[in-house]
Amino acid sequence: MRNEYLKVIMSDRNEFRTTADLSFKGTDYTKLDVKIDTGCGYSSLPVSRLGLTSSEAYLLKVADSADPSVKKSISFGVNDSKLKREEDKRKFKRKMYMDLSGVTFKHNLSGLSIGSYPIGDCDIRISYDRTGNILIGMDILKLLDVHMGTIGTGQTILLACRKGKLSQAYREELNKLFDVRKIS
């Protein structure tokens, strides 16, 4: 069943987590654990979270590394030293993508649905080496009208709906939870 809006309750670990369905390279994946991260500029998907083996991930990385039509980026971990960052930048400039665990490859996801709310097709950064969380970042969240707040029960709620498609059900839930009476 598809929802008319996205509603996620913050966990006791102060995280907004839910599930997502998507299609990547022609294969459908369902009920993937995702973390909504407002501090993340770009959404990212470690392919290990899709259940791909390291051999399968390696072959996909080889193909993407050799494909000039696939946009590549480099990302750094918060604990990466200045020396590592400089070394990785040199490798990236030399197109030594296979030697970089922090390289990401921009791909289109088909039919992305977060918390049973349809988002549609969108781009995401794919990592073939990392194993962390699937992160829904601001590049996708900016497509939505998003409200976060603490309600009378003490729960913190994230409520969102696609901009330009604010359903009556979404407006009613906004009013019920946050006393938002009118949205243009």
**Percent of the chain predicted with pLDDT > 90:** 79
pLDDT digits (tens, 9 = 90+) for 48-63: 999 999 999 999 999 9
CATH number of the domain to which 105 belongs: 2.40.70.10
Looking at the predicted structure, is the pLDDT value of residue 156 above 80?
A: yes
Q: In this structure, is residue 48 part of a structural domain?
A: yes
Q: In this structure, is residue 22 part of a structural domain?
A: yes
The Cα–Cα gap between 172 and 169 comes to 5
Range of the domain at 89: 16-142
What's the average model confidence in pLDDT over 113-117? 95
Tell me the whole-structure pTM to 2 decimals: 0.90
Tell me the C-alpha to C-alpha distance, in Å, between residue 124 and each of 15, 66, 69, 71: 21, 19, 15, 11
What's the average model confidence in pLDDT over 26-30? 95
**Percent of the chain predicted with pLDDT > 70:** 97
Looking at the predicted structure, is the pLDDT value of residue 181 above 90?
A: no
- pLDDT-based confidence at 184, cuts 50/70/90? low
Nearest CA to 132 among 13, 35, 2? 35
Give the total number of structural domains in the chain: 1
The angle subtended at Cα 146 by Cα 145 and Cα 151, nearest 5°, is 135
The Cα–Cα gap between 48 and 26 comes to 17
